[in-house]
Structure 1
């Protein structure tokens, strides 16, 4: 590791508040981080940190070295940005955090084209359904589903998706297709467990307002990809994001159901990144690329999206396993 690299490690340790946190952000082992700082201390002949069992603080020399080092690294970054603006080329490692399903199925297929357009760039991916602190994890960019994220982040809308009721043709051949929400009582509706069980309340428009059907059947799962595969296998009816099933619907592998009355709010998909005085060209290049690919109509869009959520009071919940009456017998919203 060269001197600027060691300097960057030292600054990250200070800003992350510890060796382990810095190691996670940099993709290094704690031992490698400790050795890099040790080489600086040996070269300078001073201790940069005051280490105790409970805390890590800077010495007077450490404070002085941090202030100058942070300024130097900022100057290097601004110099690279200036050259990139002149040349029009983005460069460097882009660290991205994103949810598993959306990134895997909608963004990964686009990466070859993006990296071919930007040959001086690399991507480092942290793909997890756990919401992480982008600043703490050292990420440049996050792809987030939904409208909630930290106020200190800047956001840009990329696209929207909806959840669609679908079933495999084989399942419908055996059991028939529901013609209305009440018919779901006679069907196997695949449900979520755990934190995602809130998605088991399926809402529909009815003659007297909004109807809520509680999904239930002979299988529950806590993983979206498994839910998708169970549906593809013909186990039952499921409510799955359009970005995951759009291609299957167009290919006839899955059939959309009750699209004339199923209510589904659009779910926004944002690119988010920490607020900085200058947006790094590598971040701007990737966000602009995704906006170009996902607007005005995203590639997963179908012409069978459910209707939007009605402006109504909370509907009464009905368990699909006991819902036997016609639609107009439901409690209105």
Structure 2
């Protein structure tokens, strides 16, 4: 297979058209079109559906792009590393990270990383959706409790847990009466939270009174005493330490796990390896108190069940 033709095909697929690919690479559009046509002929496959105003990958074209794009990147990075005399972290590094982690910790992480690795152009997008790394050209994604994905590998670098907190001015309901609650996302008329208190496992009946799209907004509303909420311990630990908020219960369920994920490949790029090492250095234990301390708080509260 002609590697140059394959590289041209990947260029066109990545930019979604011959014109955009030609402008990006500074090469004639006709040359790219001819090279892709030659590749289609050699493979006896149609790689693109060509419309009057659009260009779309066929099923076979998409499979070829997903399988060869990373390999070509590895070849390029290997050649660059050899030419520079070693694996130097350089080039663009695109990362997708959850909104809450981005708001609380990623700014500090990004600044420190940029100072240590000035040859890396770091680009971070804060969003909670599960991005398509291949289609959207991300080098690394950070996800919360991700679903298994055979195309990605990675590691857990932080763990957290949910707790029920409220303002000390808010009285905890008695006799199983529902309590006012602040929730993230869609608001139900009523619901029950499975929790653990000093008395053991139980449920809390709640009536949502406020629905917000951000956990930081939820925490700020809870501080005002409008209702209780389920929030990550790392986010509220400074408030618990100062008494701005009080701990009512631990939420039952799995831990919150933050994963750093990247495409499965034998040769991991130097810039991704550098960022993974930087995460490990920032959070060597990966605990909620470590995250709270990193973003400027402290954690002096033990698990509710230990008190």
Q: TM-score w.r.t. structure 1 length?
A: 0.67
Q: What's the counterpart of residue 138 of structure 2? A: 139
Q: Hey, what's the Cα distance between the residues in 2 that align with 1:56 and 1:205?
A: 53
1:160-239 map, 5 Å: 160-168=159-167, 172-173=168-169, 175-176=170-171, 178=172, 182=174, 185=177, 187-194=179-186, 201-205=192-196, 210-239=201-230
Count matched residues. Answer: 270
Q: Hey, what's the Cα distance between the residues in 1 that align with 2:291 and 2:33?
A: 59
Change (3 A) 1:237 1:124: same
Q: Would the aligned equivalents of 2:19 and 2:29 in 1 still touch at CA under 8 Å?
A: no
Change (3 A) 1:117 1:274: same
- CA drift of 1:161 comes to 0.7
Q: What's the counterpart of residue 245 of structure 2? A: 255
Change (3 A) 1:72 1:235: closer
Q: Which digits, 9 at most, give the CA deviation of each residue in 1:162-188, with x for residues without a partner? A: 1122223xxx23x34x3xx85673642
Unmatched runs of 5 consecutive residues or more in structure 1? 1-6, 21-29, 59-67, 309-333
Q: Would the aligned equivalents of 1:262 and 1:306 in 2 still touch at CA under 8 Å?
A: no
- CA drift of 1:135 comes to 1.6
**Structure 1 range deviating more: 40-49 or 92-101:** 40-49
Q: Which digits, 9 at most, give the CA deviation of each residue in 1:174-216, with x for residues without a partner? A: x34x3xx85673642223443x87xx64223469963222432
Q: What's the counterpart of residue 107 of structure 1? A: 106
Change (3 A) 1:130 1:299: closer
Q: What's the counterpart of residue 289 of structure 1? A: 278
Q: TM-score w.r.t. structure 2 length?
A: 0.72
Greater strand fraction, Structure 1 or Structure 2: 2
- CA drift of 1:227 comes to 1.6
**Structure 1 range deviating more: 221-230 or 270-279:** 221-230
Q: Residue 181 of structure 2 aligns to a residue in which SS?
A: coil
Unmatched runs of 5 consecutive residues or more in structure 2? 1-5, 38-47, 59-67, 294-298
Q: Residue 289 of structure 1 aligns to a residue in which SS?
A: helix
Q: Hey, what's the Cα distance between the residues in 2 that align with 1:263 and 1:40?
A: 60
Q: What's the counterpart of residue 45 of structure 2? A: none
Q: Residue 126 of structure 1 aligns to a residue in which SS?
A: strand
Q: Hey, what's the Cα distance between the residues in 2 that align with 1:293 and 1:144?
A: 17
Change (3 A) 1:231 1:72: closer
Q: CA RMSD in A?
A: 3.8
Is 1:80 matched with 2:72?
no
